[in-house]
Amino acid sequence: MKSDSKPLVVKLGGSLIDALGEIVPLLMSAERNMLIIPGGGVFADNIREINPDPDTAHWMAILAMEQYGYLISSSGEEDVWEEMEVPDKPKVMLPYRILKERDPLPHSWDITSDTIAAWFASELDADLLLLKSVDGLTRNKEIVSDVCVDEKFQEVDPCLISFVLDNNIDTWVINARNAPNLKAFFEGRNFLGTHIHRKFLSLKKPNL
């Protein structure tokens, strides 16, 4: 890993469950200190259908993230991780213990693994990469390359934008199904996606 790189928190969306075999090796080969936060995916969808009270749903959804985390870890060489630090090589965070101890976020479906990943990035002074099945955030069906004010986008949870702006977290949203594009991100080349940040700049290369 490059010791002079800023750590990276990567949220691996649940919609990518069928593509883990391609995505996980790419993450493992990236020269970046990295902590992978699992989404909830189909595991969390079942909780939405049951519709328990907000507190119960919150903790059940975080446990659903852990189920997906174990699945991610089975797709490559990375181990699961429960420490509040970014490891030297990519590992998959099991977030329940830390979140239960600190309980830092509201218990609401407006808070999903997007904002949970952002919270970890804030605590660890890391950049944030949200890997999804879309090419970025959209406005009027067009990809928005830069977001620097609080807006609502259907591709992320309602609290994500305000959280990363308030905490000054450099954040990118990228389609992980586009392997060459994701590789370009890690190699510091131009890539397609959305950059969320306080000050308006053109879509910049990540800090490698």
Take residue 58 and report the two structure tokens written for it. Answer: 């919150």
Flag whether 138 is in a domain: yes
Flag whether 38 is in a domain: yes
Of the candidates 98, 102, 95, the one whose C-alpha atom is nearest the C-alpha of residue 62 is 95
Flag whether 80 is in a domain: yes
182 within 8 A of 26, measured Cβ to Cβ = yes
Beta bridge partners, 142, equal 139
Bin 81: left if φ > 0, else alpha if -120 < ψ < 50, else beta. beta
Check residue 202 and give its pLDDT. 46
pLDDT mean over 63-75? 95
pLDDT tens readout for residues 92-119? 999 999 999 999 999 999 999 999 999 9
Take residue 179 and report the two structure tokens written for it. Answer: 């392997």
pLDDT mean over 124-150? 97
Query: In angstroms, rounded to a whole number, what is the distance separating the alpha carbons of residues 123 and 126?
Result: 8
For the domain that residue 126 is a member of, what is the CATH number? 3.40.1160.10
Check residue 205 and give its pLDDT. 54
Answer yes or no: is pLDDT of 152 > 70. Answer: yes
Q: Structural domain of residue 124, as residue ranges?
A: 8-196
Among 24-28, 42-46, 90-94, 197-201, the range scoring the smallest mean pLDDT is 197-201
Flag whether 203 is in a domain: no
Number of independent structural domains in the chain: 1
C-alpha 132: how far from its chain's center? Answer: 8
Q: What is the mean pLDDT of the chain?
A: 92
pLDDT tens readout for residues 184-201? 999 999 999 999 998 754
65 within 8 A of 44, measured Cβ to Cβ = yes
Flag whether 18 is in a domain: yes
Flag whether 204 is in a domain: no
Measured CA to CA in angstroms, residue 169 lies from 46, 55, 56 at distances of 31, 27, 29
Flag whether 149 is in a domain: yes
